[in-house]
Structure 1
């Protein structure tokens, strides 16, 4: 009898040890499977599987299968979901210093953008959400956001007067559209196509690949490339999950994420050109308005953050990066 008990205990011990050696992490996002971010995540799946020899795996749930960006962040906070990808504009509701990325015309060019994101400031902001149980692993390129509308091109802020423009759930984005004369209307990305069709909003703002892959060009035939904001996407993991990983598992996951980011940025550059060409063929009028008059209109947005010393200091630091 005693021998039998010992055998059962040994089986349980080794069985449990074997199970604990393997871990699967769920990663949810709201984008189409043809999007460069999703393709980069598939690369991360491969890299992580290779690095960990199959002991640490990623399962990806695209197209808002597990909820909107905000809902996914809330699931991360309580530990019900392990990872997600969100816009930094949505992240600012959970990690306030991320507001800085929503400031219009913040970056001079791509080089300035990546130098900021991959440098000290970018790393500080990735760790800034830890007190909210959210840790950033890296930044995907989400290009620059521009206006697209149903009835006319936006060649100056005057064209926004009286228009209902869909924005993300971001105070900064709302203030920016309001400063230009538009009427900001927060709507989930999953509901936007229908909202445009039914006239709930007159237009929206986003980058070329998202405009194309979401098929919103079927409704909006005017795309004005004013490139008012350059807001990165952020790869986030729940701190509940991160802290439960071994030091080796953390290294594997971070390395896979870093490789994924580099891969995505290459894909993004290609996808922007392809998206603009595709929507043009579909009958969309593409214009490149003078950015100067837009910049003048949004100066008040910068003034609003003078009392927010943390964000304002970040702004000044970013502006001095060469």
Structure 2
């Protein structure tokens, strides 16, 4: 074989290897995952872990890229992007799902769970699993729960020791009918503000206070403005990791297994991280000069009792879920 023929053969071999390499590259699939929290938040760490486990399980063939801090939109906007398949995954508070999946309203009921163990039994059991799948009819599939902590009031001017202290105060709430009804039932003035805009809203006096869990109060730096934190723990809202049904249905059975397994593993990790973060955040808040108090919860429970009666009359199907949750031993 002459040199020219050798060169042509070598060129074809190189081309073949190049095309083979391109095929391998083309086989890599990326899913975008957006959320509203800052990168220092413990929930973000769990999502990064989820992405890492998917990449490991798939040998790099399936990858998840996490976009934090509302880079891709607010929680509501992220859910809308999931519905049309423009975004693959997200993590939102259960409260943000109320307008998309009605049964998720149940989590917004104040003082729904007796304690942490009761909540975990509900979420890990048949009721929790069914609630994850209920949004499928709205093109949203729940994969797992993250611990969203216990929400309590924080304020600028005075501690909130009872519902009476909320009178005349504008309290930031999520875009949630349940949160709005709760603050109103306690005597406050509920004011919806996007989480990413809350710091400036507190600064400018648009709102007088807000309600959230210790890690969120600390990582958001709202404590720089609000020096009173009243641990009444009125709601225990889980976070929900979701995938667009359009994206989910486009995955093979194996790819779906990788994603679900990684989500479940990230949930286990997140619960551990959250417990540590809550303790560390409370210590850091005290060190930063925040006055932390533990008011009598019975007064707050009394303040929202009307919400249960209203739910029983107006939304009996949701009330049945509430009764089922309360009946879990």
Matching of residue 260 in structure 1 with residue 263 in structure 2: no
Residue aligned with 1:39, SS: helix
Residue aligned with 1:169, SS: coil
What is the rounded CA distance, in whole Å, between the counterparts of 1:190 and 1:304 in structure 2? 32
* Root mean square deviation, CA, Å: 1.7
Matching of residue 236 in structure 1 with residue 242 in structure 2: yes
Matching of residue 249 in structure 1 with residue 255 in structure 2: yes
Matching of residue 46 in structure 1 with residue 47 in structure 2: no
CA deviation after TM superposition for structure 1 residue 155, in Å: 0.4
CA deviation after TM superposition for structure 1 residue 305, in Å: 1.1
What is the rounded CA distance, in whole Å, between the counterparts of 1:48 and 1:220 in structure 2? 39
Residue aligned with 1:84, SS: strand
Residue 140 of structure 2: aligned partner: 134
Residue aligned with 1:43, SS: helix
Question: Pick from 39, 46, 57: which aligns with 1:33?
Answer: 39
What is the rounded CA distance, in whole Å, between the counterparts of 1:14 and 1:274 in structure 2? 51
Question: Pick from 146, 155, 174: which aligns with 1:149?
Answer: 155
What is the rounded CA distance, in whole Å, between the counterparts of 1:57 and 1:51 in structure 2? 10
Question: Pick from 302, 305, 310: which aligns with 2:317?
Answer: 310
What is the rounded CA distance, in whole Å, between the counterparts of 1:45 and 1:145 in structure 2? 28
Q: Which has more radius of gyration?
A: 2
Q: Deviations over 1:179-232 (max 9, x none)?
A: 000000000000000000000000000000000000000000000000000000
Q: Deviations over 1:77-127 (max 9, x none)?
A: 111110000000011110000000000000111111111111111111111
CA deviation after TM superposition for structure 1 residue 18, in Å: 4.2
Q: Deviations over 1:46-75 (max 9, x none)?
A: 211111111111100000000000000001
Q: Deviations over 1:15-69 (max 9, x none)?
A: 8864563211111001111111111111112211111111111100000000000
Residue 62 of structure 1: aligned partner: 68
1:181-196 to 2 correspondence within 5 Å? 181-196=187-202
Residue aligned with 2:202, SS: helix
Output the TM-score relative to the length of structure 2. 0.93
Matching of residue 101 in structure 1 with residue 102 in structure 2: no
Q: Deviations over 1:244-300 (max 9, x none)?
A: 000000000000000000000000000001101101111100000000011011011
What is the rounded CA distance, in whole Å, between the counterparts of 1:87 and 1:309 in structure 2? 23
CA deviation after TM superposition for structure 1 residue 309, in Å: 2.2
What is the rounded CA distance, in whole Å, between the counterparts of 2:213 and 2:305 in structure 1? 22
Return closer, same or farther for 1:19/1:240 CA change in 2, 3 Å cut-off: farther
Return closer, same or farther for 1:219/1:119 CA change in 2, 3 Å cut-off: same
Residue aligned with 2:112, SS: coil
Q: Which runs of 5+ in 2 are unaligned?
A: 1-15
CA deviation after TM superposition for structure 1 residue 303, in Å: 1.4
Residue 299 of structure 2: aligned partner: 293
Moved more, 72-81 or 41-50: 41-50
Residue 218 of structure 2: aligned partner: 212
Q: Deviations over 1:156-176 (max 9, x none)?
A: 000000100000000011000
Matching of residue 280 in structure 1 with residue 286 in structure 2: yes
Output the TM-score relative to the length of structure 1. 0.95
What is the rounded CA distance, in whole Å, between the counterparts of 1:132 and 1:78 in structure 2? 10
